[in-house]
Amino acid sequence: MDKATLLAEVINQVKVQKKTALESIRGLLIPLDSEELTVETCDDIYQHATVSFRASLCCKYRPDLFADLRQAVSSLGTMKLMKAEISTLEDWLKIVFLFTSCRDEPRSAHGILSSSIYRSLSSVLDKAPASLEYSPKVAPSRKRQKVS
């Protein structure tokens, strides 16, 4: 087997292993190292709701993240947050929310409700991290610079 064939075989094996690893963690609450947001309709697991939505958000941690999430969730109006699960891996977070709509929401509004959840949570992802002016400043060096 020549070097090019061996390298091609190794590359194929790495791709297969990566695909298998991603498929095996699909249902688990493990954050990946990329930003991700999904919103999907769930089976009606709460009888008092007309529809339930599962929203999954994966992003890097930043100090104001939870305040932004709280504001985004409270802006949803008629949607009620029933459950939130959070997992971390290094500085990445994965948060899975379960929302329900009120009984007086028509079933035809599922798409509108889903897109409003998506827009609200994507505004959290789009927000830039806290500005550097509030971060701790590095003290200037007290060493003299050599001039030649």
pLDDT of 53-77, one tens digit each?
Answer: 888 888 888 888 899 999 988 888 7
Residue 140: C-alpha distances to residues 46, 119, 135, 137 (Å): 58, 43, 15, 9
Q: Model confidence over 33-49: pLDDT tens digits? A: 678 888 888 765 555 55
Q: Could you tell me the pTM of the whole model?
A: 0.62
Q: What is the 3-state secondary structure (H, E, C) of 95-121?
A: EEEEEECCCCCCHHHHHHHHHHHHHHH
Domains detected in the chain: 30-127 (3.30.70.260)
